[in-house]
Copies of this chain bind each other. A is one copy, B any other.
Amino acid sequence: MKKVWEGKRFSVLVEDNYEIADTPDAVAILAVDAEERVVFVRQRRVATGGSLLELPAGLIDAGETPLETAKRELREETGLRGGTWRELTSFWSSPGFVNERVWVFAAHGLEEGEPDPDEGEELEVVRWTLPEVERRLPELEDATTLIGLLLYLRESG
């Protein structure tokens, strides 16, 4: 692999004439609060030209396991902590040219606390009941969020 461009968020590699966006792996969390509501964050996504409602998510730092990242990100973005965790799935987000692998965890039995967002990270926390998730699924536009919710609804189904 030859690095042909290096950025802060990602880089570009070329292997065997294929161009690859080289990025850290990521996690997302399907967190269910004490009132059985699913927790979302709404945030600006410059690549889409707008804002998206998504499961809490973040990039895996060097030395972290996916589960450690998931617990850290959920706490930072929503204040939720503790609880019982399990892996729902993992997948490639866009394997035609991106080497991003995403893990999705489900968490329940969480305790409420104070969020601690990264500097410059403006997040609105939104909570939907499961019937609301069922009804409003067509409003969601983030691939990872759709996969997490569809798997969870299927298992809860």
Contact = CB atoms under 8 A, between A and B. Distances in A.
A98 B54 CA distance: 15
Interface in A113-157: 138, 140-144, 146-147, 150-151, 153-154
A31 interface: no
Contacts of A99: 47-48
> What secondary structure prevails in chain A residues at the interface with B?
mixed
A16 B102 CA distance: 26
Contacts of A150: 146-147, 150-151, 154
Interface string A1-12: 000110111101
Interface of A: 4-5, 7-10, 12, 15-16, 18-21, 23, 26, 45-48, 52, 54, 57, 59, 89-102, 138, 140-144, 146-147, 150-151, 153-154
